Amino acid sequence: MSIAETTMDLSREDEQRLYREEMTIARKYIGPFPVVMALWCFTNLACWLSLWPLVIFNIIPLWAGFIIATVNVALCYLPSHEAQHSNYAAPGKPLRWLNELIGYVSTIPLVLPFKLARYTHMLHHKHTNDPKLDPDYEVIAATWWQAAWKTVRRMQPGFPNSYGVVLSENADDPAAQRAGLEGALQSLAYWTILCTLAWSGFALEAAFLWWVPRLLGLVYISLFLSWWPHHPMNEMGRYRNTRSFKYKFGNILAFGMEHHIVHHLHPGMPLNRNAPAFREMRPILEARGCRLEDH
Amino acid sequence: MALLRALFPWGPVFFGIGFLAPLIATIMGALNIPAPLGLSEIHIGLAIGAMWGLIAKFGGRWI
């Protein structure tokens, strides 16, 4: 993507000056190891795992476990998202193993295979809002409730799986083959564990600590990570393919996606540093004609 | 992989029998809903789960 791909009529000098200023700000926030996101991964996973003995031994009621598990599932994607971008450690770095570990274990509650998530997410960044090439384009809808309902429809067995379609189209790519194999094995393991628990007398626990929370979490994640930041998904280009927005219930419930535009501009910046970077970059983004909505 | 490819299209039926059946039986037991016709809760669960799985497989949707 060229830095000249903006919608504003800027001179070449202005383009270069804005780009330099943007990069100067970005470098301040990209560097340090994202401790918050790493702690988020392991704390969230430990909380979800601890629910199983707590509920099975009647230390907490199932309804309380269900609520906490649903929150855990919804929260588990974002640390893995950082790993998809190699934000804990790039290939060849000493902590690369930690990057990959977080990528794999963080989304266990969500049953989202890491390699599949990384493969499709990189395509999303490369082809954001392209109807044919963006694997997340399926979520397009006029309103948030239509987007939520569409996510439910996408879970139905007869609906084409957009990630599966991407893997089929790239069947000759070894990375796609690996992602497909890991995805199939992880799904198989998930269904096997659920069925084993159910036939062992833990059907309610399996349903309300994993199966239903996962369905709810998938809808929430799809809504706030795919639909809201890219809506209405009708523009492409570095400075127009996503937006900042103001969510009326706050940025925490929006998973920090109010400043998603900063993520698309600088994917190497951890989520918890997007907001201060956005505030600092705002004059530059305004000069670029970015979609700063409801701010 | 060939085996997985052959089995995955039947996933909804396996899910209906493997998960929904014991879940339905457990819920019936928890809510004290008696199984009709002298059947047990798991018989009802297996009947509903298998049927629902077949509907999902051939109809393309659970709901």
Dig out the tokens for A102 from the structure.
């977080």
Structural domain total, chain A: 2
- Three-state DSSP state, A143: coil
Decide: A85 and A145 in contact? Cβ < 8 Å: no
**Would the CB atoms of A198 and B26 count as touching at under 8 Å?**
yes
Q: Does B4 touch chain A (CB under 8 A)?
A: yes
Q: Are residues A165 and A276 in the same domain?
A: no
Confirm whether A242 is domain-assigned: no
**Would the CB atoms of B26 and A204 count as touching at under 8 Å?**
yes
Q: What confidence tens digit (pLDDT) does each residue in A197-246 have?
A: 999 999 999 999 999 999 999 999 999 999 999 999 999 989 999 999 99
Give the distance from residue A164's alpha carbon to the nearest chain B alpha carbon, in angstroms.
12
Give the distance from residue A168's alpha carbon to the nearest chain B alpha carbon, in angstroms.
13
Confirm whether A241 is domain-assigned: no
**Taking residues A174-193, what's their average pLDDT?**
93
Nearest CA in chain A to B19: A195
Decide: A282 and A292 in contact? Cβ < 8 Å: yes
| ipTM for this prediction | 0.92
Q: Where are the domains of chain B?
A: 10-59
Cα separation, A198 vs A193, in Å, equals: 8
Q: Are residues A15 and A102 in the same domain?
A: no
Percentage of chain A surpassing pLDDT 70? 97
Confirm whether A240 is domain-assigned: no
Q: What confidence tens digit (pLDDT) does each residue in B24-60 have?
A: 999 999 999 999 988 999 999 999 999 999 999 999 9
- Three-state DSSP state, A253: coil
pTM of this structure: 0.92
